[in-house]
């Protein structure tokens, strides 16, 4: 048989082109890991399901503890959960919740050597952020929390809400972290219930033990059952060993340690706490729809809180907190001894920045009446009696006497003159 060299060359070229095309497609598409079922994109593992979280955990706990993962959907856990990160392999990667929620977090009773929580150990280089979480966590050992049993890294912009946590006679019991030696920033614990069983040990709403930094965070309406008197800390236990700054709390539980600043329900609802939590270095983190939200919530892009101050002289006459794009309410008119309030110095509608509005006054003008001449009630009328002349004309004697008077006077003067000449 005669060899067809041209056909062989064409076949070889076609195979090479196909191989190159496949390689290009493979390079452009996210890499799939058949053994764990994970997908990687731009250096991040994409997590959408409970199976994805389990596969991510297995990689971390198996030694690949510097990887990065991000949620692309909320996930509800249906099985008892073994935390991410062990003592031998603490989580030193990055995990971003992207604003999604992991719910149904439960402790695995067989994992007594690992802290309870979504994460067990977060190492010094580890970072967990932008995550909402809830669960029913019953701790079986020290270091019990919803987010991380032990944190030596950074936990930021994480919210635990509507959760139940229970622990016996063990230390390091909190919602964000059982123990914190790292940084907790812009985190919150809301409407969460703690229960102690057969123990007089303390509970911390945000951290059960703190030797690190907690800042720009708050707890709201947290309850504690079975906790001895003065053993509940609304922010953190042993707070003095670390730093707590710009953090607030509202609770009806009798307090032990009171690191942080107490705020009333009204102060939370008014937007004052959301405003005070602002941290320029972190950007816009908290927001609140005043009149609807009872406490700060995650910034949505249109619910940032601004402050409007109405100033009378050097004193604050009124102060309001306003959701961006809404109007402040006009306060009562300020008073001054010698001036009259005229108006406020600027608009306070469609607020999109902090405003200082000053009272504008006008000098009080007192109207003084000029003196006027008194006028009689009725002007006196001068009348001329025309009838008198007419009467004189009618009386002949009267008329003649008037006419002869000059003649009599002349004759008398002549007689007197003649007598003198004699």
Q: Is the pLDDT confidence value at 366 over 70?
A: no
Please give the Cα distance from 302 to 120 (Å, whole number): 35
User: In terms of pLDDT, which residue wins out, 208 or 140?
Assistant: 208
**What does the pLDDT read at residue 330?**
95
In this predicted structure, what is the pLDDT of residue 328? 97
Contacts of 343 (CB under 8 A, 6+ apart): 360
Residues 6 or more apart in contact with residue 32 via CB below 8 angstroms: 38, 39
Which three-class secondary structure state does DSSP give residue 115?
coil
pLDDT in tens, 31-70: 433 346 799 999 999 999 999 999 999 999 999 999 999 9
CA–CA gap between residue 178 and residue 4 (Å, rounded): 75
Question: How far, in Å, CA of 315 to CA of 305, rounded?
Answer: 22
pLDDT value for 199? 74
Are the beta carbons of 274 and 286 closer than 8 angstroms? yes
Q: How confident is the model at residue 111 (pLDDT cuts 50, 70, 90)?
A: low
Distance (Å, whole) CA 166 – CA 137: 6
Q: What is the pLDDT of residue 280?
A: 76
Is the pLDDT score of 371 beyond 80? no
Give the residue among 117, 55, 57, 123 at the shortest CA–CA distance from 87: 123
Domain spans, the chain: 70-262, 271-367
* pLDDT band at 376; cut points 50, 70, 90: low
Lookup: tokens for 73: 């959907």
pLDDT of 372 reads 53
Residue 204 clears pLDDT 70, i.e. is over it = yes
- Record the tokens describing residue 349, joined without a space: 């509608």
Burial 342-351 (b: 16+ CB within 10 A, else e): eebeeebeeb
Return the CATH superfamily for domain 271-367.
Listeria-Bacteroides repeat domain (2.60.40.4270)
Q: What is the pLDDT of residue 151?
A: 98
Residues across the chain: 422
Q: Which residues contact 197 (CB under 8 A, 6 or more apart)?
A: 166, 167, 168, 226
Residue 142 pLDDT: 83
**Candidate CATH numbers 3.20.10.10, 2.160.20.110, 1.10.150.650, 1.10.3470.10; the one for domain 70-262:** 2.160.20.110
Short-list 246, 213, 220, CA closest to 234: 220
> What is residue 279's predicted lDDT score, i.e. its pLDDT?
84
Predicted pLDDT of residue 138:
86
Confidence at 24, pLDDT banded by 50, 70, 90: very low
Q: How far apart are CA 93 and CA 218, in angstroms?
A: 26
Whose tokens are 């999604």? That residue is 100
Distance CA 12, CA 16 (A): 6
51-60, 186-195, 405-414: least confidently modelled range: 405-414
Instruction: From 351, 261, 338, select the one nearest 304 (Cα to Cα).
Output: 351
Name which of 318, 322, 310, 317 is nearest 358 in CA terms.
310
- When pLDDT is averaged across residues 377-382 and rounded to a whole number, the result is 47
Residue 260 has pLDDT above 90, yes or no: yes
Residue reference for tokens 């692309």: 72
The region that residue 114 occupies, defined by phi over 0 for left and psi between -120 and 50 for alpha, beta otherwise, is: beta
Whole-Å CA distances, 302 to 233, 322, 323, 325, 326: 33, 12, 8, 8, 10
Task: Give, to the nearest 10 degrees, the angle between helix 386-394 and helix 396-421.
Answer: 70
What pLDDT does residue 367 have? 46
Using one digit for the tens of pLDDT, what is the confidence trace for 338-361? Answer: 889 999 999 999 999 999 999 999
Tokens of 80: 């008892």
Q: Identify the band that residue 93 occupies on the pLDDT scale cut at 50, 70 and 90.
A: very high
Mean pLDDT of the chain: 83
Q: pTM for the full model?
A: 0.77
Bigger pLDDT: 59 vs 383? 59
Residue 77: closest CA among 94, 54, 46: 54
Model pLDDT, residue 32: 39
The average pLDDT across 287-309 equals 97
């Amino acid at each position: 048989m005669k060899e067809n060299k041209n056909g062989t060359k064409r076949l070889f070229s076609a195979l090479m082109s196909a191989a190159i095309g496949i390689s290009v497609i493979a390079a452009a598409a996210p890499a799939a890991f058949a053994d764990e079922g994970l997908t990687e994109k731009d250096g991040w593992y994409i997590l959408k399901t409970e199976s994805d979280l389990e596969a991510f955990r297995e990689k971390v706990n198996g030694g690949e503890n510097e990887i990065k993962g991000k949620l692309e959907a909320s996930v509800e856990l249906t099985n008892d959960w073994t935390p991410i990160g062990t003592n031998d392999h603490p989580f030193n990667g990055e995990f971003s919740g992207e604003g999604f929620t992991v719910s149904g977090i439960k402790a695995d009773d067989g994992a007594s050597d690992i802290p309870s929580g979504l994460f067990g150990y977060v190492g010094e280089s580890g970072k967990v952020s932008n995550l909402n979480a809830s669960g029913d966590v019953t701790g079986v050992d020290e270091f019990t929390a919803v987010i991380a049993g032990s944190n030596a890294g950074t936990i930021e912009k994480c919210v635990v809400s509507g959760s139940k946590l229970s622990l016996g006679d063990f230390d390091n019991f909190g919602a964000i972290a059982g123990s914190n030696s790292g940084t907790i920033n812009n985190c919150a614990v809301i409407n969460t219930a703690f229960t102690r069983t057969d123990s007089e040990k303390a509970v911390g709403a945000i951290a059960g033990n703190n030797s690190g930094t907690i800042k720009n965070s708050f707890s709201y309406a947290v309850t504690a059952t079975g906790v001895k008197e003065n053993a509940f800390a609304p922010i953190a236990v042993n707070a003095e060993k670390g730093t707590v700054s710009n953090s607030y709390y509202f609770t009806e539980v009798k307090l032990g340690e009171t690191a942080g600043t107490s705020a009333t329900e009204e102060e939370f609802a008014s937007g004052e706490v959301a405003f005070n939590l602002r941290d320029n270095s972190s950007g816009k983190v908290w927001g609140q729809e005043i009149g609807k939200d009872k406490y700060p919530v995650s910034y949505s892009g249109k619910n940032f809180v601004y402050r409007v101050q109405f100033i009378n002289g050097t004193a604050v006459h009124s102060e309001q907190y306003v959701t961006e794009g809404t109007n402040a309410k006009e306060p009562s008119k300020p008073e001054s001894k010698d001036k009259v309030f005229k108006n406020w110095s600027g608009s306070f509608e469609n607020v999109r920045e902090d405003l200082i509005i000053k009272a504008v006054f006008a000098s009080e003008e007192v109207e003084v009446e000029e003196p006027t001449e008194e006028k009689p009630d009725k002007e006196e009328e001068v009348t001329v009696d025309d009838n008198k002349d007419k009467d004189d004309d009618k009386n002949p004697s009267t008329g003649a006497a008037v006419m002869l008077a000059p003649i009599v006077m002349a004759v008398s003067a002549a007689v007197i003159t003649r007598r003198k000449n004699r």
